[in-house]
């Protein structure tokens, strides 16, 4: 079975702090895809990144970076120099061959000025 | 803007009623997905259609049904509504049914059952 665990329910930081959101996944498939989505207070789900199981290179996009480690089944997300606009719920998700995304329970990030 | 359009954005209805949620996928996308987000269940996959045909089914209640039309838009029908059906319903789309495709979500339809 596929499962995604986001153990951090809520994280509070002050602006300009760095913050890492943890994601641990479970799957027996050798080919799978990992995603991060952002859900701001307005409610929409915004796609952030996709990573396939064969590509363990870390990725950086502006203040965002992702660390994928197959050895620990983790796909962590770091926001550098956080801003108030980063306040949102962040979801990690897994897709294998079953053509559906399995989501974690989400991590609520609160960035205060 | 993901390109996935959902209507209505907000809906309040009474128990026992029936509602229809509508979704237009991104231009060119053949797969449409429906997800339910509730406080107690989180984000749950309901159903997927690919080019008009049902492709995968998740935790969709028998009171719920969906279809995808020849123009690729989709509708989710919710009937005999209960208080517990109150949730945010997302439609999403992807290019095809490949599991590696990015799935783009609409803004959701907030359903409140009173």
Task: Tell me the per-residue pLDDT of B60-94, one tens digit each, with 9 for 90 and over.
Answer: 999 999 999 999 999 999 999 999 999 999 999 99
Exposure string over A3-19, b if 16+ CB within 10 A, otherwise e: ebebebeebebeeeeeb
For residue B67, what are the β-bridge partners?
A: B75
Q: How far is A60 from chain B (nearest CA, A)?
A: 18
**Given this model, what pLDDT does residue A63 score?**
95
Instruction: Say what the pLDDT of residue A99 is.
Output: 61
Inspect the interface and report whether the beta carbons of B33 and A96 lie closer than 8 Å: no
Q: Over the stretch B100-113, which tens digit does the pLDDT of each residue have? A: 889 999 999 999 99
Per-residue model confidence as pLDDT tens digits over B11-69: 999 999 999 999 999 999 999 999 999 988 899 999 999 999 999 999 899 999 999 99
Tokens 């987000």 identify what position? Answer: B37
* Measured distance CA(B71)–CA(B51) in Å, rounded: 9
Q: For position A58, what pLDDT does the model report?
A: 85
Distance from CA of A10 to the nearest CA of B (A): 15
In this prediction, residue B32 carries a pLDDT of 96
Hey, is B84 helix, strand or coil?
helix
DSSP E strands, A1-113:
3-5, 10-14, 19-21, 24-26, 33-39, 46-52, 59-61, 64-69, 74-79, 88-95, 102-103, 107-112
- Answer yes or no: are the C-beta atoms of B108 and B88 closer than 8 Å: yes
- Report the C-alpha dihedral over residues A19, A25, A29, A34, rounded to 10 degrees: -30
pLDDT tens sequence for chain A (113 residues): 889 999 999 999 999 999 999 999 999 988 999 999 999 999 999 999 999 999 888 888 899 999 999 999 999 999 999 999 999 999 999 998 666 789 999 999 999 99
Q: Check B110 against A97: CB less than 8 A apart.
A: no
Q: Best residue in B30, B44, B99 to probe A by mutation, most A CBs within 10 Å?
A: B99
pLDDT classification of B97: cutoffs 50, 70, 90: confident
For residue A91, the model assigns a pLDDT of: 98
Q: How far is B104 from chain A (nearest CA, A)?
A: 7
């Amino acid at each position: 079975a596929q499962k995604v665990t986001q153990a951090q329910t809520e994280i509070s930081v002050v602006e300009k702090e760095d913050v890492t959101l943890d994601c641990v996944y479970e799957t027996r498939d050798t080919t799978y895809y990992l995603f991060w989505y952002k859900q701001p207070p307005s409610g929409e789900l915004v796609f952030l990144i996709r990573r396939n199981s064969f590509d363990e290179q870390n990725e950086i996009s502006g203040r965002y970076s992702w660390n994928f480690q197959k050895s620990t089944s983790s796909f962590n997300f770091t926001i550098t120099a956080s801003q108030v606009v980063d306040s949102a719920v962040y979801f990690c998700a897994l897709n294998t061959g079953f053509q559906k995304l399995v989501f974690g329970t989400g991590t609520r990030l609160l960035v205060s000025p | 803007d993901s390109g996935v359009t959902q209507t209505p954005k907000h809906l309040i209805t009474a128990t026992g009623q029936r509602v229809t949620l509508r979704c237009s996928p991104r231009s060119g996308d053949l797969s449409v997905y429906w997800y339910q987000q509730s406080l107690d269940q989180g984000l749950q996959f309901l159903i997927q259609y690919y080019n008009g045909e049902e492709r995968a089914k998740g935790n969709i209640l028998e009171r719920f049904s969906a279809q995808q039309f020849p123009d690729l838009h989709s509708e989710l029908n919710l009937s005999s509504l209960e208080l517990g059906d109150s949730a945010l319903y997302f439609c999403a789309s992807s290019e095809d049914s490949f599991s590696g495709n990015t799935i783009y979500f609409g803004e959701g339809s907030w359903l409140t059952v009173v």
